[in-house]
Structure 1
């Protein structure tokens, strides 16, 4: 019997399919299976012990997990809103610029060129309580007479991480919103001015509805990034002090490698993936509604 000959497109895609299966699909399936086992790195035989949903049930009573979950949602909510406001302001200023707009657009992308690890080291030095730039500036201006323990006190450390996240990613909102502003037709703006609309009314009822889909695209991208935030937190505080800046993925890393509880860590990871999916679905629905509104009004 002769085997059926595969079409040429399938043969050409086969190497990519094999690589994708080897580096993505197989590890994903193994990690999903291990989340239903008591798998520990120090006891390889536990990988073959099936315990059902016990890991997921244990998470329901794990205060550390829910605390990290709450901090992740808080960081995601605050960071996204502040990044959108700052990105909107930067985009409006760049769009109004009459000279050097190309240079300004290039400068907007500057923070995105740094890796999260480098950003973490940069802001860890800036918020250092002894030699950091922030404390030296505050003391030189007479705002405070003593060094502020930014990375030692829990709430201040969370603020420092938030500042680092906002600095590194506001450009995502600025660039996408600026793309919407540059793509916007000028006739509705001119019609609004002729009708006597104030600048705020023009922005609220004409400009903002048009650029809203671009903002939701940026929110979707950033929600996925913040929901799996790890590098900056790991470098700046490592989840401290006393786990007060522990986020989901720093807790997952600690559980998997420091405590060697890989099965429990994979269960945490899939709950975190569910969080990312929920935010993505929410923003996609908002994006679809905004596009429908633009199609009806424009």
Structure 2
């Protein structure tokens, strides 16, 4: 039998992680939920209002519209990540010469801070001295500069493109790790049975990748659903409300209008939306054990 001292060794090993999660995740979440019940300036004013802000939020069609806009944005970004990430992961898995160099180059967008990425692309999109307009006008494809981030239709597409460029390396590396975890013996057996590359991809590769893809899908969706930094740097939610996703609205409620209680209530709702999306993914793509 284990001694009392040895029995506690495992708990001591996980204690730092548990304490970190409690301080950095659980406490802020609970404190944010607490603030959502008050009309407060976070210092001297703490007027209890109960569910007032939640009622205001759900009775306001603008907030529902921002949730739908955020879902629209997240769908295209995550879809782009998986298309680009899957394609590049399959290429890198072919054991081509120089693949290590290309792997390092392709992962660079993910390593750059979001602020750097946002400022870089904002310079590229600049209508006066941006690289895109300079190239297009130099080749005669356009006659006058395009305001990439000043047009409601183009700005939303531009933000999606930047987000795809920034986030595809994470999906690529996770899928590549999943591909390298699939045994070559399975592919050999499929080849002997007469499977083509397309058939092997459908019946061997995709099922083998499903656990990795499920985790990647949940992480990527939640991460980009609450994206704030790059969108704020690029457009600050404009022009108009074209890119005014829910995270931008929460920021404005808290730090422009100083309605911290309402901003906290909106953040709690976003938390539950993210939880429901993760739950839905597990039910839809899980292996039946969830």
Interval containing the TM-score (normalised by the shorter chain): 0.7 to 0.9
Q: How does 1:134-149 map to 2 (within 5 A)?
A: 134-149=132-147
Sort the Cα spacing of 1:177 and 1:231 in 2 relative to 1 into closer, same or farther, 3 A: same
CA contact (8 A) 1:39 1:261 kept: yes
Q: Give 1:3's aligned residue.
A: none
Matches of 2:57 and 2:132 in 1, distance apart? 39
CA contact (8 A) 1:36 1:55 kept: yes
Counterpart of 1:44 in 2: which secondary structure?
Answer: coil
Q: How does 1:115-134 map to 2 (within 5 A)?
A: 115-134=113-132
Give 1:277's match in structure 2, choosing from 275, 278, 290: 275
Q: How does 1:1-298 map to 2 (within 5 A)?
A: 24-40=25-41, 44-45=44-45, 47=46, 49-286=47-284, 288-289=286-287
Q: Cα offset for 1:118? A: 0.9
Matches of 1:139 and 1:269 in 2, distance apart? 43
What do residues 101-123 of structure 1 show as CA deviations (whole Å, max 9, x unaligned)? 22222223211111111111111
Once the two structures are overlaid, the 10-residue window that deviates more, 57-66 or 244-253, is 57-66
Matches of 2:21 and 2:192 in 1, distance apart? 57
CA contact (8 A) 1:213 1:291 kept: no
Matches of 2:259 and 2:145 in 1, distance apart? 39
CA contact (8 A) 1:212 1:290 kept: no
Sort the Cα spacing of 1:15 and 1:146 in 2 relative to 1 into closer, same or farther, 3 A: closer
Sort the Cα spacing of 1:207 and 1:17 in 2 relative to 1 into closer, same or farther, 3 A: closer
CA contact (8 A) 1:135 1:147 kept: yes
Counterpart of 2:126 in 1: which secondary structure?
Answer: coil
Q: Which segments of 5 or more consecutive residues in structure 2 lack a partner in the other structure?
A: 1-6
Sort the Cα spacing of 1:156 and 1:111 in 2 relative to 1 into closer, same or farther, 3 A: same
Once the two structures are overlaid, the 10-residue window that deviates more, 252-261 or 142-151, is 142-151
Sort the Cα spacing of 1:184 and 1:66 in 2 relative to 1 into closer, same or farther, 3 A: same
Matches of 2:178 and 2:140 in 1, distance apart? 42
Matches of 2:100 and 2:141 in 1, distance apart? 37
Matches of 1:16 and 1:170 in 2, distance apart? 28
| TM-score when normalising by structure 1 | 0.85
Once the two structures are overlaid, the 10-residue window that deviates more, 108-117 or 94-103, is 94-103
Sort the Cα spacing of 1:260 and 1:136 in 2 relative to 1 into closer, same or farther, 3 A: same
Q: How many residue pairs are counted as aligned between the two chains? A: 283
What do residues 247-273 of structure 1 show as CA deviations (whole Å, max 9, x unaligned)? 111110100110010001000000111
Counterpart of 2:287 in 1: which secondary structure?
Answer: helix
Q: Cα offset for 1:54? A: 1.3
Matches of 2:288 and 2:85 in 1, distance apart? 19
Taking only aligned residues, the RMSD between alpha carbons, in angstroms, comes to 2.6
Sort the Cα spacing of 1:82 and 1:26 in 2 relative to 1 into closer, same or farther, 3 A: closer
